[in-house]
Amino acid sequence: MSQSIPATTSQANPDALAACEGCLSRRAFVSQAVLAAAAAALAACGGGADATAPSTIGATIRVSDYPALANVGGVALASVNGASLAIVRTSTTQFLALSRVCPHEAGRIDPVSSGFLCQKHGARFDATGTWTGGQRTSSMRAYPTSYDASTGVLSIG
């Protein structure tokens, strides 16, 4: 007595095969699933378009509006032209303007006694915005500044 091997659906039923012409092949399904997972992973990394510091600021501030900048070493947190900045007075006539958007994955950077600290993964920066430890990343983005002592206006490029 011989045994018969059951036919697969597509072999047994041509209508079923025709009805599945729009179905994904297993390989295509797996490929799309992998792409979807990769996209989700990238999104989770905070790589959105608004997650980076702007390349320029193009604005001015009046230093006297920020009491923290009255003395050398003072740090003021300010939103300037929509950018979140830490402005540091480094001398009577010089200032640093640093983005508070972490270069790693856009966490918020806050001032601490030793400089700055990213609240998201713990990257540390000195008072000039140079990366010093913690999560490996680049230094804080710095914008050019020029101060007009006669008017008390700081231009941030």
* Cβ distance to ligand FES smaller for residue 133 or 157: 133
Phi, psi of 92 (to 5 degrees): -65, -25
Is residue 86 near ligand FES by the rule CB under 6 A?
Answer: no
* Cβ distance to ligand FES smaller for residue 27 or 136: 136
User: In angstroms, what is the minimal distance from the CB of 146 to ligand FES?
Assistant: 29
Question: Both tokens of residue 2?
Answer: 């011989």
* Cβ distance to ligand FES smaller for residue 122 or 157: 122
Is residue 75 near ligand FES by the rule CB under 6 A?
Answer: no
Is residue 84 near ligand FES by the rule CB under 6 A?
Answer: no
* Cβ distance to ligand FES smaller for residue 95 or 125: 125
Phi, psi of 15 (to 5 degrees): -65, -40
- Give the CA radius of gyration of the chain: 28
Cβ-based neighbour number of residue 100 at 10 Å: 22
Supply the DSSP symbol for 96.
E
User: In angstroms, what is the minimal distance from the CB of 92 to ligand FES?
Assistant: 32
Is residue 115 near ligand FES by the rule CB under 6 A?
Answer: no
**Is 143 in contact with 108 (CB distance < 8 Å)?**
no
Residue from 30, 121, 133, 157 that binds ligand FES (CB under 6 A)? 121
Number of residues binding to ligand FES, judged by CB under 6 A: 12
In the β-sheet with 153-156, what is the strand arrangement from edge to edge? 59-62, 153-156, 145-148
Supply the DSSP symbol for 145.
E
Report the interface residues with ligand FES, using CB under 6 A.
Answer: 102, 104-107, 118, 120-123, 135, 137
